[in-house]
Each structure stands twice: as structure tokens, then as C-alpha cells.
């Protein structure tokens, strides 16, 4: 089945997941939708995120006939994925959640910080995930206001300042008793600035994100339904609700492989 796989995020953060998907599924065609005109999601209410998620998914289905969907946004996953699955039962949908399970499994000190948007950290879905590990680890929430906006705007000065601030809030960092030795990157934007985050961390600190596990799950889902592409070079279409030139520049910068056929911007109603 050679229909494309839809991937969407509120902005360019999902490109970190897209990179993992393209590495795991090189024969697949992808349509990446960045809802930048209506971002950020992480500092909005659930109703807003649900409305935008529904409209983007309906557009991906209508225009591209997607055979599967990856919700490459933690905030949209927590707010809307249960409704999207109910409304589109024939469409396999893979979502994200902060990678607490692997973090707890690998942490030596039992102290973990989760860097995420305020919307993700305030959600009932995240609370249930966090509470499921109560007693197994001390989990600290670090809401990173403004970091998504800085990444979207290629604002290197703001990125540097915010990464330093939030890494300080995530600490004390290290592998001694009582120190945080594992940081979960609970927003798809944050792996894009991992190098900057590492500047403020001891070398033994672990960063965990969801790109590779999500790509592996997408492969399992497609294979189980007989929807894996059989051969071919794959492909990528970039689409969004904002300026297409900004999305193209972001893809060239963060993917470091500008091999996309870019669709015109298509603002959803």
C-alpha cells in the first residue's frame, strides 16, 4: 500500500520524529503538516488543541488519503488522540507520551526530570503516566515556557538562555545519590536543541526522547495491517498552515537533507 503516512505537529518539533520515521521506514512516503499559524499548542487549552487536531487530520485524509497517522506532538497526543481514534476507527494512529518508562528503567539514582510544555505536564494523561511510576522514581516536572517559540524562530540567543535556565531547574544533575541522572525530553522540539542542553549537563547525564520508539511502533502497526510500502525510494511532502518558506528552511536545517517536494501552504479553516 503506497498511500503516504501523515505526520503532524503544532510546528517544526515533529521533524525530530520525522527523521526517526524516515530512518526506520525508508520506503514510505510521508506528508508532514506543521500547524505553525495556530501554534504553540503547549500553552493553549485542550479545547483549542482538539479543534486544531481534528481539522489537520481531516485535511490530511481528504487531500492525501493517508494510510496511517503519527501525532508527532506530545500536547496533541495528550489532549486529542483518544477522540481522533474514535472518530477515525479505520485509520491507525500512533501518538507520543513522555518517555518515563525507559527513563525509570535506566536511571541509577531514581531521580528523573521531565522537560515538557506546560500543557503536557498539566494533562490528565501525563498525571496518570507519572503516577504509574510512584514509588519507583522521583519525577520532577520542568515546564519550559518559551522554548518552543525560540526553536521555531531560530532564535539562538533565546535558545541558549532558555536551555541554561531549564537545565538548572532540572537539577541537581549528576549520578550521586539524590541527583537527577536522566532527563526526559517530553516535547518533540527539544531533541532539536539537544546539543545546547548538553552544554549545561554533566557528561554522564542521559537524555531520552521518543523518536526511535515511535518510529518502531509505526513500523509494527503498518506491518500488522499489511500497509508497509514494498520497495521504492520513499518521499516527503511538507505542508502547513504558515509560511511554506519557513517550514522548508526548518526542514533543511533540522533534517539536514532537503529532499522534500514542498506543497503550497494550505491553511486549515
Give pLDDT tens digits for 89-139: 999 999 988 889 899 999 999 999 999 988 889 888 889 999 999 889 999
76 forms beta bridges with: none
Q: Does residue 269 register a pLDDT over 80?
A: no
The whole-angstrom separation of Cα 53 and Cα 231 is 31
Give start-end residues of each CATH 3.40.50.1860 domain in the chain. 5-97+210-256, 99-208
Does the bond joining 172 to the residue before it have cis omega, within 30 degrees of 0?
A: yes
Strand order in the sheet with 182-185: 138-143, 111-116, 182-185, 206-208
C-alpha cell at 131: 503516577
Q: Beta strand pairing status for 93-94 and 111-116? A: unpaired
C-alpha cell at 7: 505526520
pTM of the model: 0.83
The whole-angstrom separation of Cα 150 and Cα 238 is 21
Residue list, annotated binding site for substrate: 9-10, 41-42, 74-75, 188-189
Residues noted as catalytic: 73, 187
Q: Roughly how many angstroms between the first and final C-alpha of the chain, as a whole number?
A: 30
CATH for 5-97+210-256 is 3.40.50.1860
Which residue blocks in the chain are alpha helix, DSSP H?
Answer: 15-24, 46-64, 74-87, 100-106, 118-121, 124-131, 147-152, 156-170, 194-198, 211-224, 244-255
Determine whether 24 is exposed, middle or buried from the number of CB atoms within 10 Å of its CB (0-12, 13-18, 19+): middle
Q: Does residue 256 register a pLDDT over 90?
A: no
* Per-residue confidence band for 259, with pLDDT thresholds at 50, 70 and 90: very low
So what's the pLDDT on residue 108? Answer: 95
So what's the pLDDT on residue 265? Answer: 47
CATH for 99-208 is 3.40.50.1860
- Ramachandran class of 232: left when φ > 0, alpha when ψ lies in -120 to 50, beta otherwise: left
Amino acid at each position: 500500500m503506497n498511500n503516504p503516512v501523515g505526520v503532524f505537529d503544532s510546528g517544526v518539533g515533529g521533524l525530530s520524529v520525522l527523521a526517526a520515521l524516515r530512518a526506520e521506514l525508508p520506503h514510505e512516503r510521508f506528508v508532514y503538516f506543521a500547524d505553525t499559524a495556530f501554534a504553540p499548542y503547549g500553552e493553549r487549552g485542550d479545547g483549542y488543541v482538539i479543534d486544531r487536531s481534528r481539522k489537520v487530520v481531516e485535511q490530511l485524509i481528504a487531500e492525501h488519503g493517508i494510510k496511517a497517522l503519527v501525532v508527532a506532538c506530545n500536547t496533541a497526543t495528550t489532549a486529542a488522540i483518544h477522540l481522533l481514534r474514535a472518530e477515525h476507527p479505520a485509520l491507525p494512529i500512533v501518538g507520543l507520551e513522555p518517555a518515563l518508562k525507559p527513563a525509570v528503567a535506566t536511571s541509577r539514582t531514581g531521580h528523573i526530570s521531565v522537560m515538557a510544555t506546560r500543557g503536557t505536564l498539566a494533562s490528565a494523561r501525563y498525571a496518570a503516566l507519572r503516577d504509574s511510576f510512584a514509588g519507583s522514581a522521583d519525577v520532577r516536572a520542568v515546564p519550559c515556557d518559551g522554548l518552543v517559540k525560540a526553536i521555531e524562530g531560530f532564535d539562538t540567543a533565546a535558545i541558549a538562555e532558555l536551555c541554561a535556565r531549564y537545565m538548572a531547574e532540572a537539577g541537581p544533575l549528576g549520578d550521586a545519590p539524590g541527583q537527577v541522572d536522566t532527563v526526559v525530553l517530553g516535547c518533540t522540539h527539544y531533541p532539536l536543541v539537544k546539543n545546547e542542553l548538553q552544554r549545561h549537563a554533566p557528561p554522564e547525564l542521559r537524555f531520552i526522547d521518543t523518536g526511535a520508539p515511535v518510529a518502531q511502533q509505526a513500523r509494527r502497526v503498518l506491518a500488522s495491517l499489511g500497509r508497509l510500502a514494498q520497495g521504492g525510494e520513499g518521499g516527503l511532502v511538507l505542508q502547513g498552515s504558515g509560511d511554506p518558506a519557513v517550514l522548508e528552511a526548518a526542514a533543511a536545517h533540522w533534517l539536514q537533507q532537503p529532499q522534500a517536494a514542498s506543497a503550497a501552504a494550505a491553511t486549515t479553516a
